[in-house]
Amino acid sequence: MFRRFHFFSPHILQLAAFPYVPLKNTKAAILAALKRFHPMKTLLLLLALTSPLLAEGKKFTLTARASEIDPGTKEHPEIDYVFARKGKPADNQLAMVDTRVKPSGYLVIWLMEPKPELFNRLNSYGHHAMQVTYPREWFAKMDKLRKEGDDDHFSGIRLEAATGEDHTKLIDIPKPDGLMERSYQFVKYLDQKHPKGNWKQFLSRDGKGLDWEKVILSGASHGSTTAARLAKEIKVARVVMLSGPRDQTEKWQGLKSATPPERFFGFTHTGDAGWRGHHYCRSWLMLDLHKFGPIVNVGESKPPYGNTRRLISTEASIKDPQRAHSASTPGGASPKGTDGKYLYEDVWKYLFTHPVGDTGTAVKPEARCREDF
């Protein structure tokens, strides 16, 4: 019955070749096709209304300096936190959103150096993503000040750097310089400068802070540890901990948590020194993640990995501990298959999108995980 319809018209081919053409061009192409192929008018209208080929929007990458967004911020040279190094800005912040993708309603705040490759994936899941600068350089100096047997040394430092509130006498980080305020100020700035990105949805109802239950905290190593520590203090949507958390001599992981434990997700390569030293395994147990399933090797399983919260990789191509430590994040250290694609694509999607209400079966704490440091 469709014998008279020459489907592969130049107009239709144009739409197929350029899936995100401007709307006005799209309409013009549709109208031209309709005029030429009147018998198929209904079908073309349906295509115009429903086809993802006609989606509007684009990917946006935005940057701004923390010191320019909020004049109340200041440097902390005592812990090597400054706004510029060798004449170049050191307080640039990154935000990315893809308005072509159906929004998830979540904002991922990344606690380490910006990772565009990771942000691209987060955007493809429908998440907004941003990275803020805050005084996280304290670790190198504060690590040397820890006294033997002190199991509460890093906890207060991490909280003060994250909240800008007084939690320790070892550092002095005021509210404008804490992670939470920096994040709030950046979202306000993005809402003003880029309203099309719908950043406003992440502000609290009174506009005086963020709606933290729409926030996913994430980081790698040091960043994953601070993400977990802050999530113990405030309730967030999810925590994704890559190559972490550390703080193997601390007790804060076992404290009462404002964020339900099933919202914590961890992933590491077993060649990482932090895994070999039982740091991550210990933290995962203290966070009660064993209550939601066993440790699952992603090379021997497929999503949803038994709905567990603890994922590992034993990918044999990674020999070096340093590379293993960075392999959990998209980038040069993360392994790829023969097709050139990252081996952990499914893992990242699972970590950042798996429904927090879907959990695995509880298991006993693994005896091989050392708990006493």
- Residue by residue, pLDDT tens for the chain (373 residues) are 434 333 333 333 333 333 434 444 555 554 555 455 455 454 444 444 544 443 468 999 999 999 999 999 999 999 999 999 999 999 999 999 999 999 999 999 999 999 999 999 999 999 999 999 999 988 878 888 888 888 999 999 999 999 999 999 999 999 999 999 999 999 999 999 999 999 999 999 999 999 999 999 999 999 999 999 999 999 999 999 999 999 999 999 999 999 999 999 999 999 999 999 999 999 999 999 999 999 999 999 999 999 999 999 999 999 999 999 999 999 999 999 999 999 999 999 999 999 999 999 999 999 878 776 6
Q: In angstroms, rounded to a whole number, what is the distance separating the alpha carbons of residues 177 and 158?
A: 13
- Amino acid 31: pLDDT: 52
- Amino acid 233: pLDDT: 98
Partners of residue 252 on adjacent β-strands:
none
Quickly list H helices, 194-320: 222-233, 273-276, 279-286
- Amino acid 36: pLDDT: 55
Where on the phi/psi map is residue 75: left (φ > 0), alpha (ψ -120 to 50), or beta?
beta
- Amino acid 373: pLDDT: 60
Report the half-sphere exposure of 346 (CA within 13 A, side-chain side). Answer: 13
Length of the chain: 373
Task: Using DSSP, state whether 220 is helix, strand or coil.
Answer: strand
- Amino acid 148: pLDDT: 87
- Amino acid 145: pLDDT: 84
- Amino acid 47: pLDDT: 46
- Amino acid 369: pLDDT: 86
Whether the link from the prior residue into 10 is cis, omega within 30° of 0, is no
Question: What φ, ψ does residue 178 adopt, rounded to 5°?
Answer: -75, 155
Tokens of 20: 């995100």
Supply the pTM of this predicted model: 0.85
> Cβ contacts of residue 24 below 8 Å, gap of 6+?
none
Tokens of 332: 């040069």
- Amino acid 143: pLDDT: 82
- Amino acid 54: pLDDT: 39
Q: Which domains does the chain have, with CATH numbers?
A: 10-53 (no CATH), 57-353 (3.40.50.1820)
96-127: pLDDT as tens digits: 999 999 999 999 999 999 999 999 999 999 99
